[in-house]
Amino acid sequence: MNFQDYFELTQLYARYAQAVSSGQWELWPEFFTEDCSYRLQPRENHERGFPLATLSFESKGMLKDRVYGIRETLFHDPYYQRHVVGTPLVLKAEADRFECEANYAVFRTKLSELSSVFSVGRYIDVVVRTAEGLKFASRQVIYDSEMIPNSVIYPL
């Protein structure tokens, strides 16, 4: 993997974290290919090979539907999220396809409360080169604790 590819990859991860931390939900689907997959799954299920996931989306259209739901139909106590993402570890590099992992931590801040740890885990990703630059073809969000406070509204 050359330096330019690695730089673009780290920028993809950083831009993703910035977008989902800023509440600009309409940007979230644009990090993915049209026929992408996005799964949120507890670590225990992932390690045991169980398919059950908390959230599972199989296209960019489904991600856009989720954004619509966040903006227009879901009612919840508002909060902010802050994503801290580790440097991606490249497990396999091909010309236009990369398999990567990165640790993450998401902190949640309700308007009149102290910040708290919301979710910790790792991303398991397949990133591909498109005409628009690098995009996620697949993102598995494997969270360490099966205990999720309240519910998952916003993307991790």
Q: What is the CATH number of the domain that holds 35?
A: 3.10.450.50
Structure tokens at 156: 């991790």
Report the alpha-carbon distance of residue 149 to residue 146 in Å, rounded.
10
Comparing CA positions, the residue from 100, 152, 124, 105 lying closest to residue 46 is: 124
- Residue 70's pLDDT is 86
In the structure, what pLDDT confidence band is assigned to residue 134 with cuts at 50, 70 and 90?
very high
pLDDT exceeds cutoff 80 at 21: yes
Domains in the chain, number = 1
Residue 50 lies in a domain: yes
What's the whole-number mean pLDDT along residues 114-132? Answer: 96
Rg of the chain over all Cα atoms, to the nearest angstrom: 15
Report the alpha-carbon distance of residue 66 to residue 120 in Å, rounded.
22
Residue 71 lies in a domain: yes
pLDDT exceeds cutoff 80 at 149: no
- Residue 153's pLDDT is 85
pLDDT in tens, 61-119: 999 999 999 888 867 777 889 999 999 999 999 999 999 999 999 999 988 899 999 99
What's the whole-model pTM score? 0.94
What's the whole-number mean pLDDT along residues 11-36? Answer: 97
- Residue 33's pLDDT is 98
- Residue 101's pLDDT is 98
Cα dist from 57 to 14, 21, 54, whole Å: 22, 20, 10
Beta strands in 1-146 (DSSP E): 32-42, 55-57, 79-85, 89-93, 97-110, 116-130, 133-143
Residue 101 lies in a domain: yes
Q: Which residue range forms the structural domain that includes residue 85?
A: 3-143
pLDDT in tens, 25-57: 999 999 999 999 999 999 999 999 999 999 999
Residue 112 lies in a domain: yes
Identify the residue with better confidence: 150 or 130. 130
